[in-house]
Amino acid sequence: MERYHRGSIAVQERVGVRAAAEHVGRSIGPGIKDVAAAFLARQPHLVVGAADAAGRMWASLLTGPPGFVRAAGPARMEVAGGVPEGDPLAAALAAGGIHVGTIALDPRTRRRMRLGGTARAVPGGFAVAAERVFSNCPKYLQKRQPLRTVPDGPGVLRRAPALDARQERAVRGADTFFAATAHAEGADASHRGGMPGFVEVLSPTELRWPDYPGNAMFLTLGNLAADPRAGLLFPHWESGALLQLSGRARTVYEPDGGRSVLFRIEEAVESLHPGRLLWSAPEFSPANPALPPHRGRTTR
């Protein structure tokens, strides 16, 4: 199994972490081990990243009682229920035969696990043939506790090619989002976290966030080097609402060695579906960097 494609290798070499990436990459395997299966069985939600029929990348959030995501053997993950009606990935997952990246993140314990493979529809949901499975460290994960579920919800609230003022405020206040990216042979879903304000709204159609130091794999930035399509998911933990964005992104390499990502929105979908979990206020990760004084200002 090739751990990295040319895009990730190019970023690793540019940043000077190729040897570290090879070492960390040994954790990537094709199978679901017993400890990973037990972790999946406890999770109340799962993030799935994939492309829709038009080729746009999206990240979607699936919610259900613990056990709705489970390992059906070492090479297969099954998800009961699928995504809600109206979700941008509903049709693609129902059709099956698509590359998906998933991330199971537990805010209660700051643990996360990523699984990528090929999805196909099964009665009552979908299954993923596991091709790449690995865990990540708890860096930049905020700790939260589940409270209750949303009893009622109108479903999709708004579709538009840009953010409105209320959505801009939600993005500025976010401490967590998820990113779906892809390359020629697969898809990936990843997590980004920081203090509220770490995502900047430059305009109603453009966002920017810093690329904080991580595990040296550079899977997300490597995918963007090969394919600029990206999907972002901003969960509003206290209300259960979701903001899904699809567009294109590119990495900016700063003279001081830092990196940031610029994302241009092509479509935004806001929704509130019944059954979404509501979570407590966050206990911020001690790894979150302090924000620069100017963060939060916008340009129009």
Question: Which segments in the chain show pLDDT lower than 70?
Answer: 1, 294-300
pLDDT at 300: 30
Strands (E), the chain: 45-51, 57-63, 69-71, 76-80, 98-106, 111-122, 125-136, 146-149, 155-160, 176-183, 186-193, 200-203, 206-210, 229-235, 242-253, 259-272, 277-279
Cβ distance 32 to 71 under 8 Å? yes
pLDDT at 298: 40
pLDDT at 71: 97
pLDDT (tens digit per residue) in 237-274: 999 999 999 999 999 999 888 999 999 999 999 999 98
What top-level class would CATH report for the domain 6-279?
mainly beta
3-class secondary structure, 164: coil
pLDDT (tens digit per residue) in 245-255: 999 999 999 98
Alpha carbon distance 277, 79 (integer Å): 17
Q: Which of 179, 34, 59, 39 is nearest to 106 (CA)?
A: 39
Q: Which two tokens stand for residue 231?
A: 């999907």
